[in-house]
Chain A
Amino acid sequence: MLTVDGLYFAYKDSPVLRGLNLTAGRGELVGLVGPNGTGKTTVLRLISGVLSPSDGRIRVDGQDLRTFKAAERAALISVVPQNPTLPLTFRVVDLVLMGRNPHLGLMQWEGRRDREIAWRAMELTEIGHLAQRPLGSLSGGERQRAVVAMALAQEAPVMLLDEPTASLDLAHQIGIMDMVRDFQGARAGTVLVAMHDLTLAAQYCDRIVMIADGRAYADGPPGSVLTAENISAVYGADVFILAHPQGGTPVVLPRSAGRRYDAPGEALRHTDADGRM
């Protein structure tokens, strides 16, 4: 159970978060949405301890994260960063085994149990056959799965993902999100995922937190948060909301600002005019 209470944070003089509250329960997949620059990544970096909040508290199962050492925190929270830096000559299995770091002492090396956990993570992410390959020889989707496998091998009850589908094609987007949901289902893990794609977020998340002005503007099931009114207010974009044929979650379609597509007849008239004038 992850609880964020009244989180404040500013980069130099520009405030990013102004009293953000959010929770993510055990076995819950919570999506973090909001326009660019609203601080989705900042929230994740604060929770993972890379940044420290100027005010507010972050707790996991009631315990304040400030009381933890780096390794204790890493045993509780794993992170899949948006653009991970990968040592390209290391093999996939080397990377996944790095996820075991919080569970190992300074002079301690990975043992058989750690390698078993790493293998299971690679099986879940379907990269077992790539285990001995150098990271440099992998495609973007395979690399992303390797990073997710590393986070899984960390065996932390809370997992944070920063736009895990951002640079992936359609099939890999679905693949990653299915994997994340499997993790959350099988281990009753808590997942907080920052997402750009509102439709995909609606499809996979149990709950969505929409951030605006450094606070949670809306918080609830996808159907109640991803409304045309909220999206217009927060993103400043006009959208249509349809129902997904699979499960009925909201599908967000942008409405063009131009008049061209307002009605089929009008669009046709414009094309005609373009062609003849």
Chain B
Amino acid sequence: MSVRATGTFSGQHAADAQRVVRGAPYPWRRLVVGALAVVAIGIVASSQGAVWIPPLTVLEILASRLPLVEIAPGWPDSSETILWQLRLPRIVLAGIVGLALAFSGATYQGLFRNPLADPFLIGVASGAGLGAIIVLVTGVPLYFQGVSLLPMAAFVGAVLAVTAAYLIARQSEGLPLTTLILAGVAIASLTGAVTSLLMLRGDPDLRPVLSWLLGGFISAQWKHSWMILPYLVPSLLLVMGYGRILNVFQLDDEQAKQLGVNVERTKILLIGAATMSTAAAVSFSGLIGFVGLIAPHAVRLMWGADYRFLLPMAALVGAGFLILADLIARTVVSPTELPVGVVTAFCGAPFFLYLLRRRKTVAM
């Protein structure tokens, strides 16, 4: 196409044309900076605790674990043990859970076209809670061959609750999303009621369930992170592949269909992906609110709503945020701990309000 510049008006016209035709480059740099920031937060967090390990030493210990790197240990063995056995599993798990919650929240927000959607919207949380309590009160041994059954039951409960909501809401013409939300709310109250009932009538020692319901990383182990990844990574890749389609989805179902989007398949795949990774994440961490709501929303308010960028960036923000929140939870009232959900609400809510005030335009 040729756009000739004649006079000032056409000059502006040509500039407009060029700007559209050239397009905006994908903001890779922001993602790289975000990823580096998450790593930096992780390193700072690993240095903090009952025993102070200097961040440089943390880096050295990490580097010494790499193949082909030889560093003479100039640090006490205890530092390495604390770092490797206690702090890093916890920090990595917090990061992975934050990432999973934030990207699932972003997916739900995009799918439901509602910035107030969070990963627990259609019954994941209450389903997981019911699964956990059933294990505790029915007298099934908590551990089976060394593996805790609690997270497994929570995972199964979460997936079943969302599946039930989905089956109820599905109609011959497709899946109306408002019906799905309502079905999710109904299932959530039902499972919540059953959970309360079981807690009242069941085993007197409910501490494992209560601490799970409050959420936290106190018993984090490396294998927890490893067990989340098989659900998280494929889901993340799938949803990111649908980034451009999620943008088109911001019109309505009918327009998306008229633009050639297979609307029903998109809904099923994305709900499945977000549910699997949320369920996997909360099965180990318990219910941690606010991350899945606030991280995508913060990204949207600061950098716009293009899901191709919003999804990965929200995931990074969620990871960094939850590592920080867990750091505060375990250090601020040391030697005891705060539930991490309390910290996410305490930090998250004011920050959220600040963002809303700063950008007064309604962001959908």
B305's partner among A90, A104, A116 (CB-CB below 8 A) is A90
Shortest C-beta distance, A103 to chain B (Å), equals: 9
| Interface residue stretch chosen among B80-88, B223-231, B239-247 | B239-247
Residues of B contacting A131 with CB < 8 Å?
A: 16, 19-20
Does B251 lie within 8 Å of A101, measured CB to CB?
A: no
Residues of chain A contacted by B262 (CB below 8 angstroms): 69-71
* Residue A50 interfacial (CB < 8 Å): yes
Question: How many angstroms between the C-alpha atoms of A69 and B119 in the bound complex?
Answer: 32
Given contacts A88-B364, A94-B306, contact A74 B260 (CB under 8 A): yes
Instruction: A89 to B300: give the CA distance in the assembly, Å.
Output: 9
Query: Which residues on the B side are within 8 Å of A89 (C-beta)?
Result: 300, 304-305, 361, 363-364
Task: Determine if A119 and B247 form an interchain contact, defined as CB atoms under 8 angstroms apart.
Answer: no
Is there a chain A Cβ closer than 8 Å to B17's Cβ?
Answer: yes
User: Could you say which interface size class chain A belongs to?
Assistant: 35 or more
Contacts A94-B247, A119-B21: A70 and B257 contacting too (C-beta < 8 A)? Answer: yes
Contacts of A106 in B (CB 8 A): 241-242, 245
Count B-side interface residues using an 8 Å CB cutoff.
Answer: 38
The listed residue (B242, B258, B304, B305) touching A74 by CB distance below 8 A is B258
Chain A contacts to B: CB under 8 angstroms: 45, 48-50, 69-75, 77-79, 81, 84-90, 93-94, 98-99, 101-102, 104, 106-110, 112, 115-116, 118-120, 122-123, 128-129, 131-132, 134, 136, 154
Q: List 30 A-B contacts (CB under 8 A).
A: A48-B257, A48-B258, A49-B257, A49-B258, A70-B257, A70-B263, A72-B260, A77-B258, A79-B255, A79-B258, A81-B258, A85-B251, A87-B250, A89-B361, A89-B363, A90-B247, A93-B20, A98-B247, A101-B245, A101-B259, A104-B244, A107-B241, A110-B23, A112-B21, A115-B23, A118-B20, A119-B17, A129-B16, A136-B361, A154-B259
Given A79-B255, A122-B20, A136-B361, 16 further pairs, Cβ under 8 A: A70-B257, A75-B260, A78-B258, A79-B258, A81-B255, A88-B364, A99-B259, A101-B261, A106-B241, A106-B242, A112-B21, A116-B21, A119-B17, A128-B13, A128-B16, A129-B12
